[in-house]
């Protein structure tokens, strides 16, 4: 399976698919933090390649309800409009890709676009934390929890300010990435057989 992991510099999701034997490339404006196939540039430079699956993590800074107290300012200077436009451009430009998952925290796209198909939590995949994550799916099954754990704390929002806070808060948990690589890889294999 040919997989595009859009808006990812960590390589976590990309490498989860590679570990399952798939051809995967990450893409972001930032360089990758993990050696591996990565396009440093706009996702729209490579999105028209015949990928079988796209997992996209569009920037949520101006869309997430956790920053709702700043929505008025973000609308005034157009940042929220630009964020929503980027999200919707990903939806439109990926129409040729048979399977897609667009990931974002709880955000305004549930109203502007449509309700997500699924909301997952890290504690369903082996990480004792809460971080509600929405998935808008096309051609994919919902992710099944792999390891439900206790210790469900909201650590991600308690991080002290730092230059890396945004990166740390947006990181994909390894257990979730592994579930994507395993379960969505198997969904593709079932489609191939049928």
Residues 54-77 pLDDT 10s: 999 997 765 665 655 655 665 566
Query: Average pLDDT, whole number, for the chain?
Result: 86
DSSP 40-78: ES-GGGTTTS--SEEEE----TTTBGGGGGGHHHHHHTT
Q: Count CB-CB contacts under 10 A for residue 188.
A: 21
Q: How confident is the model at residue 187 (pLDDT cuts 50, 70, 90)?
A: confident
Question: What's the residue count for the chain?
Answer: 194
Q: How far is CA 46 from CA 22, 93, 102, 147, 187, in A?
A: 18, 11, 17, 35, 24
Residue 113 CA: distances (Å) to CA of 54, 56, 63, 65, 88:
18, 15, 12, 15, 8
The whole-number average pLDDT for the span 158-173 is 67
- List C-alpha distances in Å: 53 to 12, 16, 43, 162, 172: 16, 14, 14, 34, 18
Higher per-residue pLDDT: 62 or 186: 186
Class of the domain covering 2-121+133-141+173-193 = alpha beta
**Percentage of the chain with pLDDT > 90?**
62
C-alpha closest to that of 47 among 2, 85, 81: 2
Q: 81: which 2 tokens?
A: 């409009």
Q: What are the tens digits of pLDDT across the range 82-129?
A: 788 999 999 999 999 999 999 988 787 888 899 999 999 999 999 998
0.75 exceeded by pTM: yes
**What is the pLDDT at residue 150?**
86
Phi-psi region of 78 (alpha: psi -120 to 50; beta: other; left: phi over 0): left
């Amino acid at each position: 399976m040919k997989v595009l992991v859009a808006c990812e510099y960590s390589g976590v999701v990309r490498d989860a698919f590679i570990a399952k034997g798939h051809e995967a490339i990450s893409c972001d404006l930032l360089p990758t933090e993990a050696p591996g196939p990565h396009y440093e540039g706009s996702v729209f430079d490579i999105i028209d390649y015949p990928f079988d699956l796209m997992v996209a993590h569009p920037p949520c800074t101006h869309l997430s309800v956790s920053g709702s107290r700043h929505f008025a300012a973000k609308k005034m200077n157009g940042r929220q409009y630009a964020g929503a436009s980027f999200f919707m451009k990903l939806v439109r430009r990926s129409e040729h890709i048979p399977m897609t998952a667009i990931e974002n925290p709880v955000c305004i796209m549930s109203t502007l676009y449509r309700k997500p198909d699924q909301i997952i939590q890290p504690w369903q995949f082996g990480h004792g934390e809460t971080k509600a994550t929405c998935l808008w799916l096309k051609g994919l099954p919902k992710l099944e929890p792999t390891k439900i754990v206790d210790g469900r704390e909201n650590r991600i929002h308690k991080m002290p300010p730092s230059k890396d806070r945004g990166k740390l808060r947006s990181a994909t948990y390894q257990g979730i990435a592994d579930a994507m690589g395993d379960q969505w890889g198997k969904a593709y294999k079932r489609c191939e057989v049928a």
